[in-house]
Structure 1
Amino acid sequence: MGDSTIRQWFLYLFKAVPTLNRVYLPINVQMGPLKAVDLKNNIVMHFRSHGLPLHCGKIPVEYFHYMSSEIDGLPGGPDTVIMFNLCAHLASYPLTYYGYRVWLIRRSVVALLKRAPGTRVIIKTANTGYNKKHFYRSDWLTMQVDRILREAFRDMGVYIVDVWQMTACHYLKDDLHPAPLIVQNEVDILLSFICPL
């Protein structure tokens, strides 16, 4: 669940795993839900946006689902992995509003881990990529949002995929939507949390 940068993970995995078959639903690709299924290996992969606020075109209200509500509806368990991020679209809003949204998600994650302790929760941090100076969106504002997210989930037993460092230090040009090579590196770290040796 999250924004277009976590949708990049979904699309990357769909292309990289030959046994995944995409289920084409009559939906808005930006919002989801997107779904891919691998019947041979018993894998079902979903993507859904994080809900409002989003910076995109006109979308019917029934497509908006908040992450806290989605997490509350999941049974969880040892075969469930939840990945989410909540950064880019909220970086231009007051930090108090962002903190409230993160608190709602944290509350839902705490409840999920209590009812299904084997569930793996993985959080993707914010990435850099605002290559043009903009008053409402910048790496500086995004970094503040990223710090709130990290602090809210510290010492909770969730995994953090630190893409901030990966996107800030990479030789490829800054882009809010990282290049495929960076996405591959991010997914490699993600998979190390899902399938440890």
Structure 2
Amino acid sequence: MIADMKNNIIIHWSPHSVPLRFYKMLKTDLHHVSNDIDEIAGGSYGVIVFTFWAHLVFHPLTFYVHEVAKIRQAVLALLMRAPDTTVIIKSGNTGGLKNIFQSDWLAMQLNIVMREMFSDIDGVMYMDVWQMTSCHYLEENIHPGPVIIANEVNMLLSHICPS
């Protein structure tokens, strides 16, 4: 969590729950995205941003659809209790590693599922950053370089504070 009291900004970051290939956190500290969204009050100053794909390219598409369906229900419930909440979903990006276990083809399938499952919900913005990594001069990497991250942050901020 980061707090900027001068500008009244609080940022809370959290990884998704298992399956997660990240061994530096206790499993008890990992929460399902849908459960975290259920705990958010929302409101006109609330902004929810999430991406949910990278660690799931190792699992069947049906598993991913099930997980995204739970997140969709949580987002719908959030927008019912606080319709003026801003919800932004960041797409996946190209990863650089090209093998049978992790490929851009699999990641693109997850992007399509995420986009389609939220496409009919008013107030949910899908921030498509696929081209930022696939067409950039930097080498493709599951964790993009600083210039790509800066572009993604600028795009994010243009959705949050457009004026």
TM range (shorter): over 0.9
Q: Structure 1: which 5+ residue stretches go unaligned?
A: 1-34
Q: Deviating runs (4+, > 2 A) in structure 1?
A: 58-61
Query: Aligned ranges for residues 3-22 of structure 1 at < 5 Å?
Result: none
Residue 112 of structure 1 deviates from its aligned partner by 0.3
Secondary structure of 2:148's counterpart equals helix
Is residue 2:35 matched to residue 1:69?
yes
* Secondary structure in 2 matching 1:123: strand
Contact 2:17 / 2:27 at 8 angstroms: preserved in 1?
Answer: no
**1:143 equivalent in structure 2:** 108
In structure 1, C-alpha distance between the alignment counterparts of 2:127 and 2:93, rounded to whole Å: 11
TM-score, normalising length from structure 1? 0.80
Question: Helix, strand or coil: the match of 1:47?
Answer: coil
Which residue identity is paired with 2:62?
T
Q: How does 1:155-194 map to 2 (within 5 A)?
A: 155-156=120-121, 157-194=123-160
Distance 1:60 1:47 in 2: 15
Q: Normalised by the size of structure 2, how large is the TM-score? A: 0.96
For the residue of structure 2 that corresponds to 1:51, the secondary structure is coil
- The correspondence of residues 1-197 of structure 1 with structure 2, limited to 5 A, is 35-57=1-23, 59-129=25-95, 131-156=96-121, 157-197=123-163
Q: 1:56: how far off?
A: 1.9
Alignment gaps of 5+ in structure 2? none
- Aligned residue identity for 1:37: A
Q: Distance in 2 between matches of 1:49 and 1:124?
A: 14
State the secondary structure of the residue aligned to 2:111.
Answer: helix
- Count of residue correspondences: 162
